[in-house]
């Protein structure tokens, strides 16, 4: 029996064009914005799985930046808020990284057709991620003014 080595699979995953991890969105005959599967959709899963281990650190950095930019006065608040939001952001990032990892695995198994992984998981980045520490707060991601087809 031949031994299997994951190095070849890892090299293949790293060689995939991760920058084009989004599916193509087009306007159909009914003037609706619909998704079409493209070969670039194969990169969604590996991109989300590569991004997942970094998320707790990115979310902790985002929590620190959120505390640093807090407009409320008070020295005691400034001293306590930074470590708390850093820890809370890291904890939320740890939970969300498990979601990104599982969704990336599902996207890899389905070739990215169902787009299970969130869009921000498929975009490789080292930038701080603002943690969503509750609803309605500054951590909630804003929707884009344009739809996915580029119509505004």
Residue-wise pLDDT tens digits, 30-45: 988 887 888 888 899 9
Q: Full-prediction pTM beyond 0.85?
A: no
Q: How far lies 84's CA from each of 69, 113, 135, 136, 149, in Å?
A: 14, 39, 18, 19, 40
Residue-wise pLDDT tens digits, 124-136: 999 999 887 654 4
Instruction: Indicate the SS3 state at residue 46.
Output: helix
Mean pLDDT of 14-19: 47
- Looking at residue 88, its pLDDT comes to 94
Distance, CA of 44 to CA of 120 (rounded, Å):
10
Domain edges within the chain: 54-122
pLDDT at 150 > cutoff 90: no
């Amino acid at each position: 029996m031949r031994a299997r080595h994951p190095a070849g699979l890892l090299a293949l995953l790293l060689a995939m064009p991760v920058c084009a991890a989004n599916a193509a969105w087009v306007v159909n005959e009914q003037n609706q914005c619909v998704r079409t599967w493209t070969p670039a959709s194969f990169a969604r899963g590996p991109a989300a799985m590569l991004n997942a281990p970094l998320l707790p650190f990115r979310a902790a950095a985002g929590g620190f930046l959120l505390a640093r930019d807090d407009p409320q006065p008070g020295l005691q608040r400034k001293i306590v808020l930074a470590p708390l939001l850093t820890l809370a952001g890291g904890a939320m990032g740890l939970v969300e990284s498990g979601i990104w990892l599982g969704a990336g695995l599902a996207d890899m198994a389905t070739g990215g057709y169902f787009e299970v992984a969130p869009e921000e998981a498929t975009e490789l980045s080292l930038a701080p991620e603002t943690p969503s520490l509750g609803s309605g707060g500054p951590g909630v991601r804003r929707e884009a003014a344009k739809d996915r087809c580029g119509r505004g």
